[in-house]
Structure 1
Amino acid sequence: MRLVAIGGGTGLSTLLRGLKEKVGKDIEDLSAIVTVADSGGSTGRLRKIYNMPAPGDIRNCIVALSESEEIMQKLFQFRFKGGELEGHAFGNLFLVALTEITGSFMNAINIASQILRTKGEIIPATLESIQLCAEFSDGKIICGEEDITEYGKHDSVRIKNIWIEPREARAPIDAIAKIESADMIVFGPGSLYTSIIPNLLIQDIREAVNHSLAVKVFVVNAMTQPGETDSFTAYDHIKAFKEYTGIERIDVAVVNTKMPSSSVLKRYLEQKQEPVVPDVARIAKEGIEVYTEDLIGDKDDFVRHDPHRLADLIVEIYKKHGVFS
């Protein structure tokens, strides 16, 4: 199958780590369309200086799909300590340098992908320097991905509307071509408002997805995120996604049912994060087929989808639904 994954952050890179093992077997062509609206940390500082799309999530996806030696992967993720380079990731600086040399962010991504021997294509959602903006329930308008999440942590506010500036930002033609030829499109996991939704706020991506006959799969997060999805159930994630993006059809929802260990859960609860309630019946009533599995990894320090279990399930879903695409 030809698979397109759309998202950003650690969620998308986790998914890609599992899917790359299927390339050349169940997956004929793998592409990732990645948000470039990030405004925090090293990425945010570089964006201000060079007026370019955010490189951070792109870097993480390159590493996730990489077949290069471990030392090269570590090099790309290395962060400097001290001095003017404090906090900068080497991979971010590498992408900035390549962009300056070649005159193209897309060329920079392609060259970096060749160096790290990625098993798939990584495409930014846009080549423009976009800003994510949100209106909250108290009427406050906040711009900047990092600032939106921080402001959302106020107990009394919720995101009421979200958009990108410039609103007319366009996607690379490569992204549209991949969507048009896809057999399956996967959204998530990842930060709902700041990693997944921003991609679909780009008009031609949204229109291409809506016109596509591909099987459309939404992977629901395992935990809520402070400032974005506090108290959200699995159904709430899908409802908000469809409402703010205008995506008309989701065929399949993937919902985790495994609870983290008590010690890990306690730490997450202290950070105001809780397991996403798997209200499967509400999702099914929307005509969406739901796959419930124990999908989070067995490590004791954090809660994330296990990349291999998730990839296996994605392939299983396609084998059942792909014939109809």
Structure 2
Amino acid sequence: MTDTSLISVASLGGGHGLYQTLKAVRLAGPANLTAIVTVADDGGSSGRLRRELNQIPPGDLRMALAALADDADTPQMWAQLLQHRFGGTGALAGHAVGNLLLAGLTELLGSEQQALDTVTSLTNSAGRVLPMALEPLEIEADVSGLADDPRVMNTVRGQVAVATTPGTVRRVRLIPERPRANPAAVEALRKADLITLGPGSWFSSVIPHLLVPELVEAINDSSAMVVVVLNLSAEAGETSGFNNERHLHMLFQHRSDLRIDRVLVDETVLGSDTDRRYLERAAANLGAGVVYADLRAQGESGELLDIHDPEKLSAALKRVYRGS
């Protein structure tokens, strides 16, 4: 790239992983920032609203809105309000304010996207939030280790069930299969200078984007630099026991034609040169190089945490994009 100014960024994911990425990317100050968010959640407040109102589950979308809310004049007010959950034991117990706000605006305006754009305007957001598809989706997984014979595959259905399975997830699918992408998400990917994928729950927040054909086609057709941000550790449940290399193998297994330019990994994750060689070989299968950087947040006592530090991640993404 001859021009190293970061104009447009599209970040794909969901949940806490996407939240941290968006906090990092907004620090880089792009002119346009778009969050492209999974829509398969079926648990908690999101699951209840999905079932009762037949709407796209709002939870991951709400978290993205909270990450991008501008609280310069009222520190953290919008972010805290969107994330606030009602207590007690009544009908509202467990619901997040942001989920209810999105559900109400969707009924009022007749469109989930209009509801999201309205909250974006209310919060003077640093970017736009787009569902990856305009219909609620379900995740179905092939899981081993649930039967006495480890070779037997069982089918597990639902985002919560997949995320918490005690077995080993081998492959995931979306229902309906090959869903139509949100056209606005396709457009954002095609126009992006930088596209990020991950970190996050690998099978329920990251890989689902690769199961929407139009999204992968848009990524591959774009001139953007595509960066996969790896998790700091395996998650209990769906990726228990996975190393970094296996995370990349799962991307390749689900969409071997995905174009990736760089894999960004915390420099403390891999303990040996051999581990690095294995990771670099897995990245090469996807056409990518590996970049190591200090990405972990630190606790008050200086201990390293299993969460990305937004300032460190922002600086690393800028260095990767500029090729320095």
Normalising by structure 1, report the TM-score. Answer: 0.87
- Residue number in structure 1 paired with 2:139: 132
Q: Secondary structure at the match of 1:230?
A: coil
Task: Supply the AA of the counterpart residue of 2:297.
Answer: G
Which 4+ stretches in 1 moved above 4 angstroms?
275-278
- Residue number in structure 2 paired with 1:240: 250
Aligned residue runs from structure 1 range 241-256, under 5 A: 241-256=251-266
Aligned residue runs from structure 1 range 74-93, under 5 A: 74-82=80-88, 83-93=90-100
Q: Quick one: distance in 2 between partners of 1:167 and 1:54?
A: 18
> Which range moves more in the overlay, 46-55 or 160-169?
160-169
Indicate the RMSD between aligned Cα atoms, in angstroms. Answer: 1.9
Does structure 1 conserve the Cα–Cα contact (< 8 Å) formed by 2:178 and 2:211?
no
Task: Supply the AA of the counterpart residue of 1:308.
Answer: E
Pick closer, same or farther for the CA change 1:72–1:44 going to 2, 3 Å.
same
Aligned partner (choices 197, 207, 212) of residue 197 of structure 1: 207
Q: Secondary structure at the match of 1:186?
A: strand
Aligned partner (choices 232, 244, 258) of residue 222 of structure 1: 232
Q: Quick one: distance in 2 between partners of 1:301 and 1:251?
A: 28
Deviations 1:100-158 (CA, angstroms, capped at 9, x unpaired): 0000000000001111111111111011011111111332111110011222x2xxx32
Aligned residue runs from structure 1 range 133-282, under 5 A: 133-137=140-144, 138-151=152-165, 153=166, 157-258=167-268, 279-282=275-278
Report whether the alignment pairs 1:36 with 2:46: no
- Residue number in structure 1 paired with 2:319: 316
Task: Supply the AA of the counterpart residue of 1:111.
Answer: T
Q: Secondary structure at the match of 1:62?
A: helix
Deviations 1:8-50 (CA, angstroms, capped at 9, x unpaired): 1101111111211222xxx232111111111111111111111
Give ranges in structure 1 of 5+ residues lacking alignment: 260-274
Aligned partner (choices 58, 73, 79) of residue 73 of structure 1: 79
Task: Supply the AA of the counterpart residue of 2:293.
Answer: E
Pick closer, same or farther for the CA change 1:102–1:226 going to 2, 3 Å.
same
Does structure 2 conserve the Cα–Cα contact (< 8 Å) formed by 1:218 and 1:252?
yes
Task: Supply the AA of the counterpart residue of 2:224.
Answer: A
- Give, in angstroms, the shift of residue 288 of structure 1: 2.6
Deviations 1:201-252 (CA, angstroms, capped at 9, x unpaired): 1121122122223211111100111122122221111111121134432211
Task: Supply the AA of the counterpart residue of 2:263.
Answer: A
Give ranges in structure 2 of 5+ residues lacking alignment: 1-5, 145-151
- Give, in angstroms, the shift of residue 293 of structure 1: 1.7
